[in-house]
Structures are given as structure tokens and as C-alpha cells.
Amino acid sequence: MQSLEMQRTYALVGTGGCGKTSLAEMLLFTSGTISRLGAIEAGTTSLDFEPEEIRRHASIQPAFASLLWQKNRHFLLDIPGDGNFSADLDLLLNGVDGVVFVIDAVDGVRPLTKKFWHSVRGQNLPVLVVINKMDRDRADFHQAFDSLSALGAKTVALQLPILEQGAFTGFVDILAHKAYAFGENGALTERDIPAGLEDDVSLLHDVTVENIAESSEELMEKYLDEGSLSSEELEKGLHLGVMSGELTPVLIASALENKGASSILDAVTSLLPSPLARAPFVGEDSSKRPSSPDEPLSCVVVKTLTDPFTGQLSILRVLSGSLESDTTLKNMRTGETERLGSLLYLKGKEQVPCKETLGPGAVCAVAKLKNTRTGDTLSDEKNPFTLAVPALPPQLITYALAPKEKGEEDKVYAAMQRLLDEDISLKLGRDEESGDILLSGMGQLHIEMAVEKAKRRYKVDIVLKTPKVPYRETVRGKCQVQGRHKKQSGGRGQFGDCWIELEGTARGSGYSFEDAIVGGAIPRQYIPAIDKGIQEAAQRGFLAGYPVVDFRVKLYDGSYHTVDSSEMAFKVAGSLAFKKALESLKVVLLEPIVLLTVSIPDECMGDVIGDLSSRRGKVLGSDSRSGVTEIKAHVPMSEVLRYAPDLRSITGGQGFFTMEFDHYEEAPQPVTDQVVKEHEAAKAE
């Protein structure tokens, strides 16, 4: 087993477009793990290898890599930065001991950055920040560094960029008070600090030393007494501050120009924790399992991937104990045993056989487990432990799927079902009303990419239909009607007769049935059949085929035939009574209203509120902090089904939103007319 004190397991986290995958490529190249530097635009990076990622120039699934730096093992996880593909962020963070948080030198902190930051800090993970893209025309180190205050982080700048004639040529090490120039392949050579930067360096040095001193009482006393701290004391104080979450060191890089990799790898080694230094893992039963090789063996499946040659790959993080090939463990969810065959190190889609024993913190892949999925804990049967898994956010959008060729519905369903193993933020179901296959996900792009992947892998033609809006119908007023079903056609007939009172009730009150029969007008055994007939008819709707809700039925009279009456006859009578009641009452369409929470740059507020108003939205309030405005609004679901691309366009890609169902409201007449018209057209088809 490798030295665990020097082993590091960390995730690259940040919003889409900040250059995480390029940064990972640079770290792999600098460590000698890969022999040439790939590029996103050329589709040649190690970690973006799915055809959909290469086409989009963006990550759509987490990628894993293992590298050696100064002979020490690093396990690196690149997490997608698009809200469509990061729903399992909290689960993935279970698999790491620290985070390299990447922001863009042009845009700094974006609205989605805050959401990711809260996830990272919510798990108490130590963080380093890398300001990437220092080579860009509008790169601004000071603006990007200052924007970090919006995260509530106590930042300490460890480097200051040297820019000459617009080019990023080197940096100043703030604590060491030394300057370095970038050479071939990111190599560093010492140089003089440019004269124009001396004042900036001195100021940053003083602020950084003061922040480090403030993170420890002992250091603070010494600093106040002597006015300075030794480099050993600064290094120790910085490490302790990062481990406690008090301090967030900031480094700089240009991943595309291969500048800054060695500094990042050195900082990861000196500042982020080893698996031995992380807090114990908490179990479902609140038990604790220390991250130690001396504890019983337990692993968590942080991701499931599909490989065209090996089949299903389960990516494991070793929580405790020592793992070797051909180990048998118990799946704590299913209770079944799983034999883990050969262990594999990953480098994107490449798999390298792992011959050594792996300890806590190691991330490896295992092929073809029987019944194990993402989030499962595999544990020593005699010393069971089940890791508490964070809940996933709810899906935001649902589309109906159909095969291009009629009769291939089962093929479509099976193809999508296989994708659910690797993407746990997708949800598959069927619409009982229409029989449609329904796919729910985190956004339009998420659904489109899943369908594209299913088409490519499983050779099935899938058509995406309009997203489903779960309208409902309800009634106003009160009436009394008779439902009578009589059929004579030779032999035994059918007879059922009931009188009901039907009345609309308050929104959200649901359905209630009252049996008010006296004197045996209808025998007891037939009354549940009337109730069932009404409920089934209500599910089929009246106006536009949507379930009727929020009404009360009182059954108060009826008659029966000793020979011809049956449960089926009374079920039909109940259904007829329901339809007749709705014909004499006012039936209205209810539309679902969602609570939409939109986070945007301050300057986009007017445009976004104007857009929400045009969607019949009611703004409930807004809150602005550090350049980011959060708006809450009630909006009809039908108006925001395809909101993501519109918000992206209004905010230049910087806005993000969440939505959750809130309540139902009566739909305006034009909306009702349109929904009824579409229903009639579908029926005619």
C-alpha cells in the first residue's frame, strides 16, 4: 500500500466554461500521466471522451483520473459545471477529501458558483481556489479575487500574476517574495519582481500574513509581539487554516497555455488533507467510521459508468480498511454479496490494472457487479457500515418519449432504463392517462443529451414530444343527479341506479365520498363499486382529459334489481352519474404554478423580471448580495418548460434557476381554450 500520509483525493469544482477539464488535462500532462496536452476544441482531452461531450465542447458526466506527483498518488475527479449535469454533486463530494475550486479570470464568481460553493462548504471540505484563464484578453486577477468575497470565504492570495504586453508570463510567490517566469511546458525560472508590482506584492503579503496569523491564537500573539512570522510558521498556519475551513488560498493558472500546474500540484500536496486527516464518515444510523486502513473494509459507489468493452463500471471510493482484487463484500442496500474482480485505475476512458492494495481515499473502478448502483455502500459483512447518502434535488422538467416506429415502445423504455444506472438524476415512468413514456431530468439539455446517448448506444430511434404539463380539472357549484344503467339483451341483464349530490370543494381538499344511503335502497356490497366508478371517471377528465380534483360526492338514494344488479352495473351507474353532474356544473381547468428561484448578475434584474411578467409570473421578492440577485416568483409551469435557453440568452450564460411545484390555480380562458383544442385534436388523431 502506498503512503497514505502523502496521498490526495480531490475534486475539481466550478461552473461550466471556467476550464476545469483543461486544468485537469494540464495536471495530467505535467505529472507525466499523459504524453501530450489535449484540447477541448479539438476533442482530444482525456476526461471529455463521450461523443456528446466532444461535440458540445463541455463535460456532461464526471470523469476520474489517477496521477503520480513527486511519487505520491493523487486521485482527481472532474465534476461537470452545468446545472443540467451536476445534480449528483453532493454524492460525488462524498468521495473526496478536498476541493480545487476553479473560477474564471474574466467573469469571477457567477451565480451558480455560489450554489456549488455551498455544497462544498456544506460537507466541510478544505478548498483551494484556482483563478484560471489568466491568458484571456479581459482577464482581471483583482476583480476575480475580490469577487470571492461574495462566497463568504476568507481568501489568501498566494500568487500575483505578471502580465507583460497583455501576455501572462509569470507570477510572484507572495509569501516567499520571489518572482517566476514560465518557460517551455510550464517550467519555472526565478526572475526579478517587476518594479511596477512591488507595492501590490507588499500590500498582498501583509494582508496574507495577517489573515494566516488570525487563524491561530498562538500565531496571532507572536505576530502582534514580533510583527512577523517565519516561513515555517506561515506554512503551518496556512495548512491548519485550510483544514479548518478558516482560510481559502488562491492560486492562478492558464490551463490552455500550460501555466501553473506545478504550483497547483504542490499546493494540493502541502495544503489539502490526506485520507487519514479527514473527519470520520457518518453512517445512516449516525455511527461513525474513521478513514483508516486499520478499520474494517467499506467502500461507496460514487458513480456508475458504461464502457463499450467492459460493460458496467462501478467507481468506488475506499472509505476504510484495505481493498484488493477478488474481495467479496456485502451490498448494504440489497443484502447481497458482491465479488469485486480486478481493480482498475482510471484515466478518463482508459483503464489501467491496479496490482497494489488500496487504502482509504483510493478511487478505483470495478467491472460487472451484479446488483450494485450509485450511492450503494459495500462493506465487510462482519462489520457492516452504510454511508449516509445525500438526497438528490427534484427533477425540473418532464418530456414524453415515443419511438419513431410504432410498436417499439418497449425498446425505447429498455434503452432509457439502462441509462438510469449511470445517471441517477434521471427518472423514468409512464403516464397512466396517455400511456406515454415519461423522462424527467434537470433541464431540457439534460433530457436531450440522455436521449442522444440512448440513440447512439442502443440503436433506437426516439422522438422527444412536448413536455407534459400536469393540468387538473375541477368543478364549481353543486347539483343532484341520477346515474342509471340498465341493459337487457337476453339472459341475465345489468341494472344499477344511484342518486348523488356532487359539489366542488376548496383547492387542494381532494376527493371525498359520503355514503348516506338509508333503508337499504342500495345493498352495502354495491356502494364501493359506485365510489370506484366515480373515481375512475374523474381520472379520465371531462374538459381536456385531465383528472378532476377537489370535489365531494354524497350518495343518498338509488334502487337495485335482485337478479340483474352487480358491482359492474353500479360501477357504470356511478360513472354515468359523475358525467351527468359535470355536464350541469361549471368545469374549470387548473394549471400548476411553480415557485421559480432565479439567480442572476445584478445588471440583468430588469430584463429577467420583465421576461417573468411576460410569462404571467408574479414576482414575490428579490434579494441582492455581492453582485448576485436572487428573484423568487410564482409562474405557470407551462410558461417555463423551456426556460433554460431563454435565461441563458438574457444573462449571457450566467443565470441559473431552480423550480418546484407550489400550487394549482384556475387557468385563464385563452389557456383553457388552447388546452381543450389540443386535447380534441389528439383525440381525433
| DSSP structure string for 124-169 | T--EEEEEE-TTSTT--HHHHHHHGGGGT--EEE-EEEEEETTEEE
* Topology at the third CATH level for domain 590-680: Alpha-Beta Plaits (3.30.70)
The dihedrals phi and psi of 447, each to the nearest 5 degrees, come to -65, -45
For 414, residues 6+ apart whose C-beta sits below 8 A from its C-beta are: 458
Angle between helices 444-458 and 643-651 (to 10 degrees): 120
Contact 355, 343 (CB under 8 A): no
Q: Which long-range contacts (CB under 8 A, 24 or more apart) does 401-408 make?
A: 401/436, 401/437, 401/438, 401/439, 401/451, 401/462, 401/463, 401/464, 401/465, 402/436, 402/437, 402/462, 402/463, 402/465, 403/460, 403/461, 403/462, 403/463, 404/461, 404/462, 404/463, 405/461, 408/460, 408/461
CATH classification for the domain delimited by 397-465, as one of 3.30.70.870, 3.40.640.10, 3.30.70.60, 3.40.50.300: 3.30.70.870
Residue 511: DSSP 8-state: E
State the pairing for strand pair 511-515/551-559: parallel
| Helical (H) or strand (E) element with 599 | strand 586-601
Contact 320, 292 (CB under 8 A): yes
Contact 11, 99 (CB under 8 A): yes
| CATH class of domain segment(s) 8-193+249-277 | alpha beta
Strand order across the beta sheet in which 462-465 lies: 427-430, 437-441, 397-403, 462-465
CATH 3.30.230.10 for domain 472-584, yes or no, is yes
pLDDT for the residue 73: 95
Contact 377, 300 (CB under 8 A): yes
pLDDT for the residue 223: 82
For 452, residues 6+ apart whose C-beta sits below 8 A from its C-beta are: 52
Encode 395-433: b = buried (16+ Cβ within 10 Å), e = exposed.
bbbbbbbbbeeeebbebbbebbeebbbbbbbbebeeeee
Q: Give per-residue pLDDT as tens, 110-153.
A: 888 888 999 999 999 999 999 999 999 999 999 999 999 989 88
Which one, of 533, 476, 534, lies nearest residue 507 by Cα?
476
**How many beta carbons lie within 10 A of that of residue 111, not counting itself?**
22
Q: Which three cell numbers stand for residue 498?
A: 344511484
- Enter the pTM of the model: 0.80
For 104, residues 6+ apart whose C-beta sits below 8 A from its C-beta are: 14, 15, 17, 18, 19, 110, 131, 132, 133, 144
Residue 259: DSSP 8-state: B
Say how far apart CA 316 and CA 224 lie, in whole Å: 48
What residue type is 40 in one-letter code? I
Q: Give per-residue pLDDT as tens, 592-646.
A: 999 999 988 889 999 999 999 999 999 999 988 777 899 999 999 999 887 888 9
User: Thinking of the domain 296-379, which architecture would CATH place it in?
Assistant: Beta Barrel (2.40)
Longest dimension (CA), the chain: 111
Which one, of 653, 650, 657, lies nearest residue 596 by Cα?
657
Say how far apart CA 603 and CA 88 lie, in whole Å: 30
Domain locations along the chain: 8-193+249-277, 296-379, 397-465, 472-584, 590-680
pLDDT for the residue 186: 86
- The angle at the Cα of 28, spanning 5 to 108, to the nearest 5 degrees, equals 95
- Note whether 8-193+249-277 and 590-680 share their fold: no
Say how far apart CA 165 and CA 249 lie, in whole Å: 27
Distances (CA, A) of 174 to 115, 188, 206, 233, 461: 30, 16, 9, 15, 58
What residue type is 129 in one-letter code? V
pLDDT for the residue 1: 61
Say how far apart CA 683 and CA 677 lie, in whole Å: 10
Say how far apart CA 97 and CA 100 lie, in whole Å: 11
Average confidence (pLDDT) per 10 residues, the chain, 685 residues: 87 93 95 91 89 86 94 95 87 94 92 89 94 94 92 93 92 94 91 91 91 87 84 90 94 95 96 94 92 95 85 93 93 93 91 92 93 93 92 81 82 88 88 76 86 89 82 95 87 90 93 93 94 94 92 96 92 96 95 91 92 95 85 93 86 82 92 93 80
Residue 71: DSSP 8-state: T
Contact 282, 288 (CB under 8 A): yes
Say how far apart CA 36 and CA 58 lie, in whole Å: 20
Distance in Å from the first CA to the final CA of the chain: 67
Q: What is the dihedral of CA 423, 110, 59, 160, to 10 degrees?
A: -130
pLDDT for the residue 490: 66
**How many beta carbons lie within 10 A of that of residue 41, not counting itself?**
10
pLDDT for the residue 653: 79
The residue count for the chain: 685
How many CA within 13 A on the CB side of residue 139? Answer: 22
Contact 17, 133 (CB under 8 A): no
pLDDT for the residue 299: 96
Which one, of 133, 55, 59, 70, lies nearest residue 92 by Cα?
59
